[in-house]
Amino acid sequence: MAARPLIVAIDGPAGAGKSTVSKILARRLNFALVDTGAIYRCVALAARDQKIPFDDDDRLGALLDTLIISFKVEGENNHVFLGARDVSDPIRSPEISLAASQVSSRPVVRAGLLELQRRLALAAKTGAILEGRDIGTVVFPDADLKFFLHADPTIRARRRYEELFQKGNEKTLAAVLKEQTHRDKEDTEREAAPLKAADDAVLIDSSSMPLSEVVSQLEQTVRAALAKHA
């Protein structure tokens, strides 16, 4: 029996396909899925609801101590709860996307969420997939497997646009691309745990590869690692 579950880090920018790939992979492998972006989004939603400015470190720090964030898989969906409230939809709004990018740049928020991310992953039976921006560099620098998923910015924006469109959001592709460029800049240029590939991460460009192929590639690698890990 291995001492801890197999830890798989999947990092990359918004729209690279991390969420889709992580969700399918976790289901196929029966692994826990820790969507760390959703955790930052919960903090942003709670801060917005309580009218806490996104750069007020003292109040953000105090807020973290009051939040109970959890996940519940139901069929195809990974629901996110803030206390007893299912916030899966409200945390995905464009407003909260921008707010999440801002609160996630605060070192007090990043430090405060480290333990939760590690705890959720280590509670898994066989393995856990963590998707985010700094999993392979900060949260689990000793992850068993690290992948960095990226894609051409226009292709990423188009994927996000299609997703929003299906939900009834009427933003233009140009507006989605502009917002994404802004978020990419904030995520990569911030001082605290910026978005970057770990030196030992496997880089995967999903620009011209169907996500089903990305899943197959990752599944093969994870299964091989799992066989050695057991």
Question: Is 161 an interacting residue with respect to ligand DC (CB under 6 A)?
Answer: no
Using the minimum distance from each CB to ligand DC, give the nearer residue, 110 or 222: 110
Using the minimum distance from each CB to ligand DC, give the nearer residue, 134 or 144: 134
Binding to ligand DC in span 4-33, by CB under 6 A: 14
Question: Is 100 an interacting residue with respect to ligand DC (CB under 6 A)?
Answer: yes
Minimum distance from CB of 58 to ligand DC (Å)? 20
Task: Identify which range of 24-32, 61-69, 78-86, 128-136 contacts ligand DC by CB under 6 A.
Answer: 128-136
Question: Is 206 an interacting residue with respect to ligand DC (CB under 6 A)?
Answer: no
DSSP, residue by residue, 71-117: EEEETTEEEEEETTEE-TTGGGSHHHHHHHHHHTT-HHHHHHHHHHH
**How far apart, in whole angstroms, are the C-alpha atoms of residue 172 and residue 82?**
30
Length of the chain equals: 230
Name beta bridge partners: 103.
none
Q: Which of 42, 175, 210 is nearest to 117 (CA)?
A: 42
Task: Identify which range of 73-81, 131-139, 145-153, 172-180 contacts ligand DC by CB under 6 A.
Answer: 131-139
Q: In 10 A of CB 192, how many CB atoms?
A: 14
Question: Is 104 an interacting residue with respect to ligand DC (CB under 6 A)?
Answer: yes
Task: Identify which range of 36-44, 54-62, 166-174, 207-215 contacts ligand DC by CB under 6 A.
Answer: 36-44
- Would you put residue 129 in left (φ > 0), alpha (ψ -120 to 50) or beta? beta
Question: Is 112 an interacting residue with respect to ligand DC (CB under 6 A)?
Answer: no
Task: Identify which range of 21-29, 98-106, 161-169, 199-207 contacts ligand DC by CB under 6 A.
Answer: 98-106
**How far apart, in whole angstroms, are the C-alpha atoms of residue 143 and residue 201?**
10
Question: Is 132 an interacting residue with respect to ligand DC (CB under 6 A)?
Answer: yes
Question: Is 40 an interacting residue with respect to ligand DC (CB under 6 A)?
Answer: yes
Task: Identify which range of 96-104, 118-126, 147-155, 174-182 contacts ligand DC by CB under 6 A.
Answer: 96-104
For the chain, helix, strand, coil in percent to 5 are 50, 15, 30
**How far apart, in whole angstroms, are the C-alpha atoms of residue 123 and residue 5?**
8
Q: Are strands 32-35 and 127-132 parallel, antiparallel or unpaired?
A: parallel
Residues contacting ligand DC: total by CB under 6 A: 14
Q: Which residues bind ligand DC (CB under 6 A)?
A: 14, 36-38, 40-41, 100-101, 104, 132-134, 183, 187
